[in-house]
């Protein structure tokens, strides 16, 4: 589970901003998950909601999480052009350094993991574990301007035997200028299969980030071959009054040249797909993939069936409303809740193309069904700022200061009276994080 996250010097984020999933003391247990730590039982929030005007930095915050996740699970990045993603305003005290830090709960332990980037190399990287005496270091890495790297680590906590101790020493010596853009955590996990780093990277892989223009990879194939999933999506599309009676996926063999001509795909791209094992390409809700026969391919296409004038009529995805298409991104999240997987879902613009009732339904359903999962989302729909739907500490306001830097401010920082109309006060500007529309000149 995610406990805290902080980031600095990324896109519209300048000075460090911190987000927390720790609740207030009087939070209703319905909104919480309990975890057992060496420091006792902790209660953690299941949801976090971000509200603010356009261009306030909500998406920058989400993209910072996406960047960090991608870097961690892949282990290396081309950092020579990273400066273009940093805050454009000059903040001298940041010294051109971008930092990411996570406090997470994995396999019964609380870890603090983070790294910072400067120019084209990893400036610092660290991993700590919570003990009865506080956080203790598992490893700490520092690199100077000459790209000379020093790594200190605790053999007793990080290694299980003498073999692992020797391997980690070899790895420490090998990380230098040639691997200045590679994470030590990833090397430990993938190259040497150390258990703790492997568990942490697996935790990051289970983060799902959904943008307004996202499409679930392999969705046609999943619908075709997973009956339970297909029935779940069909039932919910019907329940939510989309006009869809059921969802199916159909297969069809097509000639490879017909496919290339239809979508104006170059010969080079086509060859690359063919050469890949189980190569595939997804276009407009249709999945085209290659088997052993390189002269033809299989198409799997999603069909949404509507009951019209006494008969079922199939529609393509692109024929459906934006709201129905968006549901195909969002509903799989609720399906996974039923599977009890440990996951974190981050949704940018949850309310995109949704009626308020749909957004509220999803947010409530997540709170009701989630056990080991967490949800973070951004939204513009002010009707979601409702204490009957979200607790104060689950609501975060996103705004920019006078220097153009994104700030995060928890709603729980404000004094709110019982039965106060918080939506009215928010729209009146009491909590900030609303657009200021200037009069025409």
pLDDT tens digit string along 106-161?
Answer: 999 999 999 999 988 899 999 999 999 999 999 999 988 887 888 888 877 776 66
Give every CB contact of residue 55 below 8 A, 6+ residues apart in sequence.
12, 400
Higher pLDDT, 112 or 162: 112
pLDDT score for 212? 86
**What number is the average pLDDT over the span 300-326?**
91
User: Which has the closest alpha carbon to 304: 331, 324, 287, 284?
Assistant: 324
On average, the pLDDT of the chain sits at 87
Structure tokens that stand for 318 in this block: 């692109």
**What number is the average pLDDT over the span 331-358?**
89
User: Which has the closest alpha carbon to 406: 23, 12, 41?
Assistant: 12
Q: Which of 29-38, 155-164, 337-346, 389-398 bottoms out in mean pLDDT, i.e. has the lowest?
A: 155-164
Tell me if 433 sits within 8 A of 51, measured CB to CB.
yes
Structure tokens that stand for 247 in this block: 């969802």
Across the strands, what pairs with 103? 4, 112
In this prediction the pTM is 0.89
What is the C-alpha separation between 149 and 184, in angstroms, rounded? 11
**Among positive and negative, which fits the CA dihedral 20, 24, 30, 33?**
positive
| Model confidence at 166: pLDDT above 80 | no
Higher pLDDT, 26 or 101: 101
Question: SS3 for 132?
Answer: coil
* Residue 195 confidence class, pLDDT cut points 50, 70, 90: confident
Tell me if 131 sits within 8 A of 42, measured CB to CB.
no
Strand blocks (E) in 154-272: 207-210, 244-255
What is the C-alpha separation between 133 and 141, in angstroms, rounded? 22
């Amino acid at each position: 589970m995610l406990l805290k996250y902080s980031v600095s010097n990324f896109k519209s984020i300048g000075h460090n901003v911190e987000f927390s999933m720790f609740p207030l003391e009087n939070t209703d247990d319905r909104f919480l998950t309990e975890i057992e730590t060496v420091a006792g039982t902790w209660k953690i929030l299941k949801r976090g909601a971000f509200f603010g005007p356009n261009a306030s930095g909500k998406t920058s915050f989400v993209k910072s999480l996406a960047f960090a996740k991608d870097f961690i699970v892949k282990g290396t990045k081309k950092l020579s052009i990273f400066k273009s993603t940093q805050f454009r305003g000059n903040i001298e005290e940041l010294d051109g350094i971008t930092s990411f830090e996570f406090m997470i709960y994995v396999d019964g332990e609380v870890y603090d993991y983070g790294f910072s980037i400067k120019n084209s190399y990893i400036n610092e990287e660290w991993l700590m574990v919570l003990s009865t005496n506080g956080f203790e270091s598992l490893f700490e890495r520092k690199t100077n301007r000459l790209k000379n790297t020093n790594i200190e680590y605790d053999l007793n906590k990080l290694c299980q035997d003498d073999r692992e101790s020797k391997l980690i020493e070899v790895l420490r010596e090998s990380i230098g200028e040639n691997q200045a853009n590679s994470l030590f955590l990833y090397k430990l996990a993938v190259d040497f299969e150390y258990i703790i780093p492997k568990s942490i990277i697996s935790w990051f892989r289970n983060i799902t980030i959904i943008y307004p223009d996202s499409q679930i990879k392999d969705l046609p194939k999943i619908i075709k071959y997973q009956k339970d999933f297909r029935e779940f999506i069909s039932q919910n599309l019907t329940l939510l009054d989309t006009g869809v009676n059921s969802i199916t996926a159909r297969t069809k063999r097509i000639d490879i040249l017909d496919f290339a001509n239809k979508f104006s795909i170059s010969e080079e791209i086509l060859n690359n797909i063919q050469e890949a094992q189980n190569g595939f390409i997804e276009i407009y809700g249709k999945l085209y993939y290659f088997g052993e026969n390189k002269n033809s391919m299989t198409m799997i296409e999603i069909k949404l069936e509507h009951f019209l004038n006494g008969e079922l009529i199939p529609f393509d995805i692109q024929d459906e409303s934006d709201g129905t298409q968006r549901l195909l991104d969002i509903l799989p999240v609720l399906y996974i809740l039923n599977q009890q997987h440990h996951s974190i879902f981050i949704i940018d613009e949850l309310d995109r193309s949704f009626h308020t009732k749909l957004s509220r339904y999803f947010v409530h359903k997540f709170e009701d069904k989630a056990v080991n999962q967490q949800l973070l989302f951004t939204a513009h729909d002010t009707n979601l700022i409702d204490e009957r739907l979200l607790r104060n500490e689950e609501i975060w306001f996103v705004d920019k200061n006078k220097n153009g830097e994104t700030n995060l401010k928890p709603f729980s920082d404000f004094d709110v009276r019982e039965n106060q109309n918080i939506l009215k006060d928010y729209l009146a500007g009491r909590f900030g994080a609303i657009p200021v529309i200037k009069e025409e000149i």
